[in-house]
């Protein structure tokens, strides 16, 4: 058997097909939603899919264990860009989240999500501990996770900071923490909360309250939430049909090509379409998780689990937001929302999974 045949045999084709099925659906929705207002973004997105696929192949080729050795440089790179964005970032609506790279803009906080997973996987690999970690072992990694979270909070971007914090938390739980440590830290956290709350300024409290209660701010984000709910609900069982969505076509719903793209799916393809998308995501995620149990080392497993958590968080928050059970926080939907750096990140993740899956056969 030739070497070529061996490579292709061991690729996880199911994962790849599921991914591109979701991307295809995403492109259809993007075409529909952007065709009136901004048709060029459809072609831009196709370009990003191509670029992303190319990078995905690159990521697949290089042995993922290399990443383990570059966990520190990658971590340092992310922290530097996060600091940089605070200093020279583009200011949009009072927040600095974007770094300009010529005509393009990148969000270092997007990169931070993946690097957090990588670094935690690396840390878990170097500090193996069967009974779970105690407080003494956790001080250092918790500090290194708090740094990017605080930097993203300073942009300010509460939504992304929470996601990064949550990914880090999932990684800690997956690596294993002693029961006693888990209980003690929960108690400390809960008992500190009231004091932290009292030490905040009045306007900061209001900001946090309006984050948790979308109806507190109906004119701004609440407007989107309301319109999105109408779009989703009016899709009914079979939907209004491709290019027939009135809510989204008539621009009642701004941001419908990024944060509210799911309402386009739901309005035009109805429950059938939205359920199909959710099932596809479910297949993708369960495949990634099962890959985690088969990886040949713990680093690979942790990467798989972390990426599964990363996708799950984004998908859940984004769809929950579109159907009005989560506040509007500006979290994109993987493989479907418009956005270059996000598409790139997602395809890099898939490349990593394929990499881990393929290399488990080489020993």
Partner 1 sequence: MNNNITGPQLDDELRWKAKILTVFVFVLFAVLLFRLMNMQIFKGSYYEGLSRNNRIRIVGISAPRGKILDRNQEVLADNRPAYNLMVMQGDISNIREVSKRLATYLDQDEDEIFEKIDQAKPRPYDPVTIARDISFHQMARVETEIFTLPGISIDATNERDYVFKDLASHTLGFLGEISKKELKKYNQDDYAIGDLIGKAGIEFTCEEKLRGVKGTRVFEVDALGRKIKVLDERPPVPGQDIMLTIDKRLQLIAKDSLRDRAGAVVAIVPDTGEILAMVSSPGYDPNMFLTPMAPEAWKQIIEDPLHPLENRAIRGQYPPGSVFKVGMVYAGLVSKTISPKETVFCPGEYTLGTSTYKCWKPTGHGEVDIMRAISESCDVYFYSLGEKLGIDQISQYASELGFGRPTGIEIRDELGGLVPTKEWKERRFGRPWQSGESIITAIGQGFTLVTPLQVAKSMSALVNGGKLYTPRILASGEANLEKVLDVSRADLDVIKMGLRMVVEGEHGTGRGIQDPMFSIGGKTGTAQVAKGYTSARADESDLPYKYRDHAWFFGFSPVDVPEILVVAVVEHGGHGGSIAAPVVNDVIKGYYFLKGMEDEQIRKDNG
Which stretches of the chain bind partner 1, using CB under 8 A? 91-94, 128-130, 174, 176, 217-223, 226-227, 229-237, 246-247, 250-252, 254, 266, 270-271, 274-275, 278, 281-282, 285-286, 289-290, 292-293, 298, 301, 305, 308-309, 312, 315-316, 319-320, 323, 325
Q: How far is the CB of 128 from partner 1 (least distance, A)?
A: 5
Question: What are 8's two structure tokens?
Answer: 């292709």
Q: Which is nearer to partner 1, 111 or 117 (CB)?
A: 117
Those residues whose C-beta lies under 8 Å from the C-beta of residue 200, and which sit 6 or more positions away, are 208
User: For residue 98, how many C-alpha atoms fall within 13 Å in the half-sphere facing its CB?
Assistant: 16
Other Cβ atoms closer than 10 A to 181 = 16
Q: Which is nearer to partner 1, 32 or 81 (CB)?
A: 32
Q: Which is nearer to partner 1, 107 or 227 (CB)?
A: 227
CB 285 within 8 A of CB 276: no
State the Cα torsion 205-209-210-211 to the nearest 10°.
100
Give the sheet arrangement for strand 95-101, strand by strand. 90-92, 95-101, 104-106
Q: How far is the CB of 248 from partner 1 (least distance, A)?
A: 10
Q: How far is the CB of 116 from partner 1 (least distance, A)?
A: 17
- 100: which strand partners? 105
Q: How far is the CB of 226 from partner 1 (least distance, A)?
A: 6
Q: Which is nearer to partner 1, 48 or 268 (CB)?
A: 268
Q: Which is nearer to partner 1, 247 or 341 (CB)?
A: 247
Question: What are 340's two structure tokens?
Answer: 């270059």
Q: How far is the CB of 10 from partner 1 (least distance, A)?
A: 20
């Amino acid at each position: 058997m030739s070497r070529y045949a061996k490579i292709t045999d061991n690729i996880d084709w199911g994962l790849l097909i599921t991914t591109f099925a979701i991307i295809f659906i995403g492109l259809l929705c993007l075409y529909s939603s952007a065709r009136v207002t901004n048709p060029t973004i459809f072609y831009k997105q196709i370009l990003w899919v191509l670029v992303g696929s190319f990078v995905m192949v690159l990521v697949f080729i290089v042995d993922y264990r290399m990443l383990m050795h570059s966990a520190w440089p990658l971590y340092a790179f992310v922290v530097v860009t996060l600091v940089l964005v605070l200093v020279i970032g583009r200011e949009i609506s009072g927040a600095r989240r974007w770094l300009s790279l010529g005509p393009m803009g990148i969000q270092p906080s997007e990169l931070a999500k993946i690097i957090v997973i990588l670094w935690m996987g690396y840390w878990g690999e170097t500090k193996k501990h069967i009974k779970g970690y105690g407080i003494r072992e956790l001080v250092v990694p918790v500090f290194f996770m708090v740094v990017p979270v605080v930097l993203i909070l300073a942009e300010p971007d509460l939504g992304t900071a929470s996601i990064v914090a949550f990914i880090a938390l999932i990684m800690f739980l997956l690596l294993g923490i002693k029961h006693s440590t888990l209980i003690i830290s929960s108690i400390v956290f809960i008992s500190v909360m009231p004091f932290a709350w009292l030490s905040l300024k009045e306007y900061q409290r209001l900001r946090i309250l309006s984050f948790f209660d979308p109806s507190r701010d109906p004119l701004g984000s609440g407007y989107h939430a309301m319109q999105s709910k109408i779009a989703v609900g009016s899709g009914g069982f079979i939907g209004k049909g491709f290019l027939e969505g009135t809510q989204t076509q008539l621009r009642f719903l701004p941001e419908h090509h990024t944060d509210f793209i799911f309402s386009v799916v739901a309005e035009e393809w109805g429950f059938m379409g939205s359920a199909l998308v959710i099932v596809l995501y479910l297949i993708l995620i369960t495949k990634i998780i099962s890959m985690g149990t088969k990886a040949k080392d713990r680093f690979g497993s942790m990467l798989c689990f972390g990426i599964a958590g990363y996708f799950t968080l984004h998908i859940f928050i984004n769809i929950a937001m579109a159907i009005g059970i989560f506040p509007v926080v500006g979290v994109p939907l993987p493989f479907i929302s418009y956005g270059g750096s996000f598409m790139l990140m997602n395809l890099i993740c898939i490349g990593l999974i394929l990499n881990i899956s393929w290399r488990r056969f080489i020993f």
